[in-house]
A and B are shown apart, each in its own frame.
Chain A
Amino acid sequence: MSPSAFAWFHRFGSAPFVYRLAGRLAPWLGAACVAALLAGLWLGLVVAPADYEQGESYRIIYVHVPAAWMSMFVYTVMAVSSAVFLIWRLKLADIIAAASAPIGAGFTLVALVTGSLWGKPMWGTWWVWDGRLTSELLLLFLYLGYMALRGAFEQPRTAEKAAAILAVVGVVNIPVIHFSVEWWNTLHQPATITKLDKPSMHPSMLRPLLLMVLAFQLLFFVNLATRVRSGILRREARAAWVAELAAGKGSDNGGGTDRADRNGSERASAHVGGAAASGASEHG
């Protein structure tokens, strides 16, 4: 690895940098998420025509499919971060995995319940124990198990490692969910969108779906950024940079570069004189 690449990697592993970066990104991600969500809802609920087979009930797809995709995507993020944490002992990776779990569990719950609400009018039943539904339910239990494990040990180190191992082992469920509609006979309809060669959805119906997928994706990253900030603060509670933030020095989200911030606070303390002296003694 070249020295500059290493510096870059090191910077991204540094807690104050990630804390501020996440704080700076969150509002933009949030605004983009709201925009995609409003456009997706408008196009999906109002503009898109009814389905010739399923009537208006098919509109549940606009929340069901994005939630189901995100339930698998978030789990993959959690499993990969957990593997990185186990292999390289990168604390940030564990923080990302822990922050992902409740968000992923939420998406899984939405996928399961909206699927049930769609199944009742279309299949005549709320639930069947087939491959797709059962493996998605297992996914919910994997998320819940991960969160329960983190709270189940007195030693945080043990809890982190045990939960990370569960997340990595549980990733075998992801391909099972994906291929379940091909491997087993099921009521669940096969993939609609991923057949890119011959998409079976009309663009007027596909466009809102892709917007909703984008909105859910952005929603995940906004929440991940916010929760990672909480996780970093919790782990770094005694670090010097947190103490400086607590004392009102430096920006909480890095408005401006780090160096400009530091210069700014030095200049400010030089100007107030007496206060600067007491500030200096606080460092000692």
Chain B
Amino acid sequence: MADFLHMGGYAAYVWSSFGLTLLVLGGIVAGSMIELRRVRAETFRRARTTRRSRR
């Protein structure tokens, strides 16, 4: 396990590469999901209120 984490002396480069990739791609996934939830809530709320005002 220690050998694995050590990465033959390249630990700093290898793990920061994988860490940054995880961070950026995870951020994109989270961003996509949060955006959809927000847009859906906003759009549906507005659709319901304009309907009510039309009645």
Q: How far is the CA of A59 from the CA of B36 in the complex (A)?
A: 35
Residue among B4, B13, B17, B24 with the most chain A CB within 10 A? B17
Task: State which of A120, A121, A227 has its C-beta within 8 Å of the C-beta of B32.
Answer: A227
With contacts A106-B28, A227-B32, A230-B36 taken as known, whether A57 is within 8 angstroms of B13 at the C-beta atoms is yes
With contacts A117-B17, A219-B29, A245-B44 taken as known, whether A230 is within 8 angstroms of B39 at the C-beta atoms is yes
The answer to whether A243 and B14 have CB atoms under 8 Å apart is no
The answer to whether A57 and B10 have CB atoms under 8 Å apart is yes
The answer to whether A237 and B46 have CB atoms under 8 Å apart is yes
With contacts A230-B39, A242-B47, A243-B51 taken as known, whether A121 is within 8 angstroms of B21 at the C-beta atoms is no
With contacts A60-B14, A233-B43 taken as known, whether A246 is within 8 angstroms of B48 at the C-beta atoms is yes
Query: Which of chain A's residues have a CB closer than 8 A to the CB of B18?
Result: 45, 63
Chain A proximity mask over B32-55: 1 for CB below 8 Å, otherwise 0 = 110110011001111110110001
Majority secondary structure, A binding face: helix
The tally of CB-CB contacts under 8 A between chains A and B is: 105
The answer to whether B21 and A114 have CB atoms under 8 Å apart is yes
A61 (CB) vs chain B CBs: closest residue: B17
Query: Chain B's nearest CB lies how many Å from the CB of A75?
Result: 15
Q: What range describes how many residues of A lie at the interface? A: 35 or more
Query: Chain A's nearest CB lies how many Å from the CB of B13?
Result: 5
Task: State which of A56, A110, A114, A229 has its C-beta within 8 Å of the C-beta of B10.
Answer: A56
- Which residues of chain B have a CB within 8 Å of any CB of chain A? 4, 7-10, 13-14, 16-18, 20-21, 24-25, 27-29, 31-33, 35-36, 39-40, 43-48, 50-51, 55
**Which 6 A-B pairs rank lowest in CB-CB distance, beginning with the nearest?**
A56-B8, A246-B47, A246-B44, A57-B10, A226-B32, A56-B7
Query: Chain B's nearest CB lies how many Å from the CB of A203?
Result: 22
A41 (CB) vs chain B CBs: closest residue: B18
The answer to whether A63 and B21 have CB atoms under 8 Å apart is yes
The answer to whether B14 and A59 have CB atoms under 8 Å apart is yes
